[in-house]
Amino acid sequence: MLPLDPQAEIGRRAWVPCPGCEDTRDCEPCGERRACSRHWRYLLSNKGSLLHLQCPGCTHVWTHESGFGATRSLWSRVTSGLPRLSS
Ligand SMILES: [Zn+2]
Ligand SMILES: [Zn+2]
* Residue list, CB under 5 A from ion ligand 1: 18, 20-21, 55, 57-58, 60
Summary count for the chain: helices (H), strands (E): 2, 4
d(CA 48, CA 1): 28
1-20 pLDDT per residue, tens: 889 999 999 999 999 999 99
d(CA 41, CA 53): 6
| Strand 50-54 with 61-65, pairing | antiparallel
* pTM of the predicted model over 0.85: no
16-68 pLDDT per residue, tens: 999 999 899 999 999 998 899 999 999 999 888 899 999 999 999 999 988 76
Residue 17 Cα to ligand 1 midpoint, Å, equals 8
The 13-14 sheet, strands edge to edge: 13-14, 41-47, 50-54, 61-65
CA angle 62, 65, 67 (to 5 degrees): 160
Residue 62 Cα to ligand 1 midpoint, Å, equals 10
Residue-level pLDDT at 7 = 93
